[in-house]
Each structure stands twice: as structure tokens, then as C-alpha cells.
């Protein structure tokens, strides 16, 4: 990384359901990357938040018979509570109903308008409320949206404002061809393919007659902003743009910018949003990283209607925050779909945590407390290049595997050298072996910092105090 400041953001979820495990993955991944960049001495801005406008939310609130503002407040709270549940280090939580965000979305509109990139057009099409967008005929399956087969498509005819995305075709191709602009590579191909073959101007407003829960169009009260045009601006409004020039310059213009998103977001994040930035004359996002989906057993989609949804809150209540972080970051692929089942979770918990790092910590510190007078001299400067390289590539799973490789090696070292026996016959030699183990354990704790921050701190302070844990770090579960 060649920049002093680092910026990372998650997408902002719609607030029409409680937080699910898939979004917890995105949060925890982004948090690990943010913590890594702090660890190497960069100043970091990590943002998340909630997307609170649009027809879907309006209708959901009406269905509940609730005032829409109360409705979004309730869910925004659920999402911001994840900061504690998942031990997130985010610097801001942006809500699209914040007054400052609304001002920013209006400013973005004006900038694109001045550029001549916004025009009015009569439009008739099939509209999916689930997607909050028009569905092209070729994507319709059995008269329904493929993503929302239980929802009826609405035939909608209205005059909307459109964004001249096609004007930026060449510029987008150039941007998307930059190495690393989209990660992983196959998503980069997908983005390029979309721009080259399927990209059209997109509608960025909705008639106020249908619903009014959105930001009014500057200069035209009859329309509200399309929720995507509004929501995408959060990536810069979170920095106080356009008002707070200093912060915006520091982290967006002069920083290294990364957005983390789900694999279904490519068109929105890497194309639409980048086109808007080009129009407004704002620098593009440096890198956008796409993760896969968490599925249920056998790769089935997790959904409320199927009833296989796993709640991050419940897992944390029973197993603790770091156990969930461990599973999400190690057992779930960083880029492709992976299943999350309680069976897999328990197995990974027992083998990687209870019998893994937990047991190792107890064994080593029991010996050191007994045989060493004090904590040996520790270093904060050991070589982590290989590990850092994996995190630079956002391959968090491999980075976590690397740590557990070190844990395995240390386990092996104890088994072959048997310091607990050696120390009884040759104290000096035994102490030397124990010291080596303690230092290696400390190194592992340092590696754990971005992945399991609490466990990392716990082990580090136990090592410094030369004390064995008073209780197992991770209790074995049956």
C-alpha cells in the first residue's frame, strides 16, 4: 500500500429485515481489513450504515402499520448494534435519512445535471418492488422476477429522469480494465462484459404519486430519487462530503479506497456508482472486492421464507464474538459461496478454537507460569510479510489458514520436544524450549489481531503477565 490513509466501506443494507449472517460476513471481513491497515500504521476510515429510502421500505412499514421513520429507526438500531455484537471498529455509521446525507445526494444530483448527464424520458416497463428496479423482458421467468418469484411484477408507465451512463462507456472500460479495480478477477470480467454488452442509461427517479419515501429531486417536487442513486452517495457522504473537504480529501482523494460488497452488487458498485463519480468529476473507487453468499445446507439460499436463516446475535450469545468471526473468516470462502450450518460451525469451533488456539494457550502458559520467573522479552517487530501479503489481496481465509498453520507447527513443536519432560531433567534446556514457545504464542496472538481482536489481546496480556488463563479461552461444546 502506497498511501498513508486507507478507506474501507461495506454496502449499506436495506432496513426491511433483521441483520442476517451474510451481512455479518461483509462487516467482519471489512473490519479485519480495516484492523490490518491500522496494524501496519495507516490512518483508517471504516464505514458502514443503512439504506433507508425506497418503495420496498415504504410498503413494509405500511404493512406493519408503522410510521415509516419509526420503522427505519428501529432497524437502523438493529444494524448499528452489530458494532458491539461483532466487535467492529467502524469509524462511522451512515444512515441515508441523515440530513447531511440527503444534502450530499442532492449535491450529487446537481453535479450530474450540470454535466448534462440527467435527462427526462417516458418509460414503460415491468417493475420489481423486490429489486426496486425495472426488469428487462429477457430476465422475466414465468412472468416473475427471478430473484423474487413470489412477488407480482408491476407494469409501470411514467416519466422519469435518467442518468446518461452510456456516455461513460469508454471511461468505464478503461477503469474496469485496471488491474485490481475489481476483485476477484472473474467479477472483473463480469463487470467489463456488462459495460461492453448490456449497459443502458438507468432511471434515477420515481414518481411521487407511487410513493414519497425518498429524497425529492432538486427543482422537481413531483419526483423522488431512485433509492440506488441516493444510497450510493453514502460512500462519500459518510466522509462529510461535500461540506467536510478536509476529511474527504484525506480519505477519498488522497487515500486508498476500498469497497466491500456481495457478488450481486457488481453492476451497482463497479458500474453505476463509478459512472456517477465520473460524471461528478470525483475520483473512482480504487478497488471493489466482492464476496460470495452464505448458503444453507447443500448450497440452498438462506431466506426467511425457507426458514434456514442463522442469526448472528444468537451465535454470539452462545459462542462469543470471536468464535463467529473465526468461522466467517476462515470457514467461509473470501470470494465464493459457502454453506453455514450449525454442524459445520460446532465442528470448526471445537477443532480450531477449543482444541486449537484455546488448548495451546493453556498448555504453554501453564508451563511458563510454573517454570519461568517472568515473561521473556517479547518483540512487536517480527516478520509478518507472508501474512500481510494475503491480507493485501483480501484473501482473509488464506490469511487465517496461515495463522492456524502456525498454531499447528507450535503444537507439533511441543509434541516433538516435550518441554514438560525436559524441564524436569534439564531445567535450563526446558526453560529455553518454554521460552521459545511463549514467544511463538505471542507472535500468533499478534497475527490474530485483525481476525479475532479480543482473543489476540487476551493472549498477549496473559503472556505479558506470565499467567495461565483462569478458564479455557473457548469451552468445548458437545
Q: Cell numbers for 219, please give them.
A: 427543482
Minimum CB distance to Zn ion smaller for 11 or for 85: 11
Q: Based on CB atoms, which residue is closest to Zn ion, 151 or 164?
A: 151
Q: What is the DSSP string of 302-326?
A: P-TTTT----HHHHHHHH-HHHHHH
Residue 332 CA to its chain's centroid (Å): 13
Nearer to Zn ion, 111 or 128 (CB): 128
| Kind and range of the H or E run holding 4 | none
The minimum distance between CB 105 and Zn ion, in angstroms, equals: 23
> Residue 55 or 97: which CB sits closer to Zn ion?
55
Based on its alpha-carbon atoms, the radius of gyration of the chain, rounded to whole angstroms, reads 25
Q: Provide the residue count of the chain.
A: 478
Question: Any residues with CB less than 8 A from the CB of 138 and at least 6 apart, and which?
Answer: none
Beta-carbon contacts of 438 under 8 Å, excluding residues fewer than 6 positions away, are 364, 365, 368, 372, 375, 376, 463
CB of 339 to Zn ion, least distance (A): 24
Q: Which is nearer to Zn ion, 103 or 151 (CB)?
A: 151
Report CA torsion sign: 225, 227, 228, 230: positive
Q: Which grid coordinates belong to 81?
A: 448494534
Shortest CB 126 distance to Zn ion, Å: 10
Q: Give the binding site for Zn ion (CB under 5 A).
A: 128, 130-131, 145, 147-148
User: Are residues 225 and 105 in contact, defined by beta-carbon separation less than 8 angstroms?
Assistant: yes
| Strand-strand pairing, 118-128 and 154-163 | antiparallel
CB of 163 to Zn ion, least distance (A): 20
Helix (H, G, I), strand (E, B) or coil at 398: helix
Residue 193 CB, nearest approach to Zn ion (Å): 21
| Cβ at position 223, least distance to Zn ion in Å | 22
Q: What is the DSSP letter of 103?
A: H
The distance of closest approach from Cβ of residue 211 to Zn ion in the complex, given in angstroms and rounded to an integer, is 17
Grid cell locating 146: 427471478
Which is closer to Zn ion, CB of 130 or CB of 339? 130
Closer residue to Zn ion in complex, CB, 145/204: 145
Amino acid at each position: 500500500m502506497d498511501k498513508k490513509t486507507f478507506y474501507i466501506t461495506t454496502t449499506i443494507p436495506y432496513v426491511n429485515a433483521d441483520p442476517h449472517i451474510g451481512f455479518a460476513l461483509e462487516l467482519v471481513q471489512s473490519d479485519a481489513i480495516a484492523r490490518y491497515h491500522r496494524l501496519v500504521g495507516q490512518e483508517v476510515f471504516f464505514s458502514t450504515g443503512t439504506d433507508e429510502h425506497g418503495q420496498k421500505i415504504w410498503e413494509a412499514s405500511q404493512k406493519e402499520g408503522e410510521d415509516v421513520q419509526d420503522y427505519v429507526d428501529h432497524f437502523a438500531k438493529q444494524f448499528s448494534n452489530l458494532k458491539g455484537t461483532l466487535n467492529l471498529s467502524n469509524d462511522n455509521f451512515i444512515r441515508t435519512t441523515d440530513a447531511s446525507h440527503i444534502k450530499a445526494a442532492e449535491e450529487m444530483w446537481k453535479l450530474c445535471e450540470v454535466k448534462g448527464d440527467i435527462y427526462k424520458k417516458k418509460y414503460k416497463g415491468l417493475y420489481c418492488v423486490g429489486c426496486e428496479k425495472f426488469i428487462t423482458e429477457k430476465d422475466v421467468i414465468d412472468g416473475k422476477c427471478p430473484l423474487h418469484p413470489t412477488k407480482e411484477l408491476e407494469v409501470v408507465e411514467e416519466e422519469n429522469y435518467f442518468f446518461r451512463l452510456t456516455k461513460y462507456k469508454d471511461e468505464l472500460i478503461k477503469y474496469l480494465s485496471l488491474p485490481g479495480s475489481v476483485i476477484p478477477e472473474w467479477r472483473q470480467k463480469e463487470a467489463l462484459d456488462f459495460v461492453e454488452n448490456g449497459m443502458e442509461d438507468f432511471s434515477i427517479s420515481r414518481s411521487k404519486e407511487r410513493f414519497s419515501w425518498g429524497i425529492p429531486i432538486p427543482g422537481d417536487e413531483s419526483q423522488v430519487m431512485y433509492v440506488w442513486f441516493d444510497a450510493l452517495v453514502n460512500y462519500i457522504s459518510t466522509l462529510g462530503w461535500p461540506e467536510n473537504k478536509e476529511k474527504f480529501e484525506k480519505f477519498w482523494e488522497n487515500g486508498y479506497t476500498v469497497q466491500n460488497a456481495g457478488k450481486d452488487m457488481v453492476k451497482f458498485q463497479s458500474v453505476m456508482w463509478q459512472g456517477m463519480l465520473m460524471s461528478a468529476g470525483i475520483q473512482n473507487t480504487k478497488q471493489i472486492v466482492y464476496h460470495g453468499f452464505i448458503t444453507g445446507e447443500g448450497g440452498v439460499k438462506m431466506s426467511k421464507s425457507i426458514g434456514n436463516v442463522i442469526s448472528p446475535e444468537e451465535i454470539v450469545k452462545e459462542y462469543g464474538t470471536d468464535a463467529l468471526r473465526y468461522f466467517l473468516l476462515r470457514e467461509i470462502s473470501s470470494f465464493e459461496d459457502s454453506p453455514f450450518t450449525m454442524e459445520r460451525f460446532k465442528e470448526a469451533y471445537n477443532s480450531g478454537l477449543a482444541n486449537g488456539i484455546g488448548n495451546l494457550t493453556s498448555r504453554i502458559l501453564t508451563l511458563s507460569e510454573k517454570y519461568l520467573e517472568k515473561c521473556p522479552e517479547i518483540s512487536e517487530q517480527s516478520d509478518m510479510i507472508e501474512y500481510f501479503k494475503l491480507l493485501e489481496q483480501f484473501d482473509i481465509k488464506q490469511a487465517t489458514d496461515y495463522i492456524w498453520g502456525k498454531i499447528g507447527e507450535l503444537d507439533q513443536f511441543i509434541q516433538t520436544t516435550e518441554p514438560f519432560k525436559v524441564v524436569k531433567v534439564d531445567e535450563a534446556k526446558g526453560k529455553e524450549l518454554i521460552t521459545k514457545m511463549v514467544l511463538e504464542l505471542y507472535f500468533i496472538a499478534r497475527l490474530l489481531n485483525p481476525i479475532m481482536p479480543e482473543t489476540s489481546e487476551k493472549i498477549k496480556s496473559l503472556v505479558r503477565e506470565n499467567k495461565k488463563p483462569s478458564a479455557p479461552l473457548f469451552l468445548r461444546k458437545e
